[in-house]
């Protein structure tokens, strides 16, 4: 019995030793961030701001408007006048924000996020050694969320800039910043994806990580294991307001291009193609004769834009200067990185065939507008008696025709069944193209539709709410 107990205890000790040894071996293979944090933390700063905001900014968003501000101003003027205080009008209050940043050069240039310093009246920078400086805004770019500020000092600690194009999924990365005001906090994780495009930031191909990023980390650096800055922490996806495992950083290569432009001319210019695009799904790919969905589908070419005489609605952009366009979301960042006046070689799919066209890139306007709004459409009589492709179409009235300019189209008066319902056609849509052919009248629409064989999928271009979009119509 004693021998059995001794054997059991020995087995337990051996198992424990193996488990401990295994942990030790595993731990030895993990990266050691101690030296990196010690040497890089001095160049990571806390950025805080102050701004004067009116009382309307403290209201819920749905109540914020110039009208609300004027109304409150009048009310407060009357109130203060009645109280014998002179009727000073709408008071303004101090509002602060806090984020992170890092020192780019020893003479005081600092990089942070645009949203950290946006609308700031005063910017304060606090260093790792507790020194504080007032900073001056050199320039800021909302589209990339990058800002450059400067403090008056010398011999400041700096960071080494890396190459974000060499970053690989699965690579270890480290973030240092001030989440919730907790300065010099370090968190680590891996790269989850590169070139991630978000709907709200189409000009930034984000680095996605699982590094714990929280409010206050914004503007702080993302390091690789060599201690090089390869990203600027910018956004998180969260349902709670805090970290949920999806963090997004601006690639440093793109950020440095923005910084250099801000430093040299105080603003950022980007390339512009002058088209509105949409994603290609499986049905649309089929309608355009593509084997699989990819590229960016041109839904509208802007008048007087760089591509107006080169690209057509229905073209699918597949490559730009040899760089693959995997999705519509990837195109703005690719074009934005080109200089105005530069010749770009663009590979497109047109009428089922690959073509290469040359386009002179323009400069992205400060504000992109459609150039036209959805006309108020009233059906003109008489309507076409038949229902074709699950919809009834009628001519446009004179006002709608004038609003469309040189374009021709017909109004969808009613959606009656398939295949229009399945394609997502809505009453009030204006049909511009059917299977690549212009539709100028209900008779033309009927003539084109009568040629389709059963089972065929064709592209339908409609204008809805002032924007053009393609729908895939599968003939029953």
CA separation for the pair 352, 315 (Å, rounded): 9
Q: Is 397 a catalytic residue?
A: no
Radius of gyration of the chain (CA): 29
CB 241 within 8 A of CB 179: no
**Exactly one of 54, 115, 397, 441 is catalytic; which is it?**
115
Position of tokens 């394609």?
Answer: 423
Position of tokens 């969260």?
Answer: 238
Q: Can you tell me whether residue 32 is helix, strand or coil?
A: coil
Q: How many CB atoms lie within 10 A of CB 240?
A: 6
**Exactly one of 100, 140, 164, 218 is catalytic; which is it?**
218
**Total residues belonging to the chain:** 476
Q: Is the dihedral of CA 371, 377, 382, 385 positive or negative?
A: positive
Nearest in space to 256 (alpha carbons), one of 236, 231, 233:
231
Q: Six-digit token pair at 122? A: 């005063």
Q: Six-digit token pair at 262? A: 């801000």
Phi and psi of 187, rounded to 5°? -135, 150
CA separation for the pair 197, 194 (Å, rounded): 9
Q: Is 218 a catalytic residue?
A: yes
Q: Six-digit token pair at 253? A: 């290569």
Q: Can you tell me whether residue 215 is helix, strand or coil?
A: coil
Phi and psi of 81, rounded to 5°? -65, -45
- 386: buried, middle or exposed (CB in 10 Å: 19+, 13-18, 0-12)? exposed
Buried b (16+ CB within 10 A) or exposed e, 190-223: ebbebbbbeeebbbbbbbbbbbbbbbbbbbbbbb
**Exactly one of 140, 144, 145, 294 is catalytic; which is it?**
145
Catalytic positions, written as ranges: 115, 145, 218
């Amino acid at each position: 019995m004693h021998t059995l107990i001794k054997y059991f205890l020995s087995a337990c000790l051996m198992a424990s030793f193996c488990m401990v040894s295994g942990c030790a071996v595993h731990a030895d293979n993990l990266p050691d961030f101690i030296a990196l944090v010690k040497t890089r933390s001095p160049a990571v700063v806390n950025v805080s701001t102050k701004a004067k905001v009116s009382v309307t900014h403290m209201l819920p968003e749905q109540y914020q408007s110039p009208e609300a501000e004027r109304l409150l101003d009048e009310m407060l003027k009357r109130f203060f006048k009645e109280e014998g205080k002179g009727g000073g009008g709408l008071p303004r209050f101090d509002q602060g924000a806090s984020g992170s940043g890092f020192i780019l050069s020893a003479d005081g240039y600092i990089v942070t996020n645009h949203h950290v310093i946006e609308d700031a009246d005063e910017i304060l920078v606090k260093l790792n050694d507790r020194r504080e400086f007032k900073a001056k805004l050199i320039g800021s770019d909302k589209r990339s969320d990058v800002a450059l500020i400067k403090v008056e000092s010398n011999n400041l600690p700096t960071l080494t800039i890396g190459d974000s194009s060499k970053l690989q999924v699965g690579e270890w990365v480290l973030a240092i910043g001030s989440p919730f005001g907790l300065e010099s906090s370090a968190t680590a994780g891996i790269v989850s994806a590169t070139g991630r495009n978000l709907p709200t930031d189409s000009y930034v191909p984000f680095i996605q990580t699982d590094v714990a990023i929280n409010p206050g980390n914004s503007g702080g650096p993302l390091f690789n294991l060599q201690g090089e800055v390869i990203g600027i922490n910018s956004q998180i996806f969260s349902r709670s307001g805090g970290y949920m495992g999806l963090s997004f950083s601006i690639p440093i290569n793109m950020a440095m291009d923005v910084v250099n432009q801000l430093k040299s001319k105080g603003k950022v210019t980007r390339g512009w193609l002058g088209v509105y695009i949409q994603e290609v799904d499986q049905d649309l790919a089929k309608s355009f004769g593509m084997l699989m969905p990819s590229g960016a589908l041109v839904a509208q070419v802007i008048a007087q834009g760089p591509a107006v005489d080169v690209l057509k609605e229905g073209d699918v952009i597949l490559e730009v200067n040899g760089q693959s366009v995997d999705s519509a979301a990837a195109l703005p960042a690719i074009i934005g990185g080109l200089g105005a006046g530069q010749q770009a070689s663009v590979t497109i799919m047109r009428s089922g065939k690959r073509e290469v066209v040359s386009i002179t890139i323009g400069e992205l306007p400060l504000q992109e507008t459609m150039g036209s709004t959805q006309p108020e459409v009233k059906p003109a009589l008489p309507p076409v008696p038949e229902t074709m492709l699950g919809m009834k179409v009628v001519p446009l009235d004179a006002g709608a025709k004038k609003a469309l300019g040189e374009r021709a189209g017909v109004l969808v008066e009613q959606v009656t069944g398939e295949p229009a319902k399945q394609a997502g056609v809505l009453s009030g849509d204006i049909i511009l193209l059917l299977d690549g052919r212009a539709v100028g009248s209900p008779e033309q629409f009927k003539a084109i539709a009568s040629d389709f064989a059963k089972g065929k999928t064709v592209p339908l271009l409609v204008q809805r709410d002032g924007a053009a979009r393609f729908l895939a119509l599968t003939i029953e």
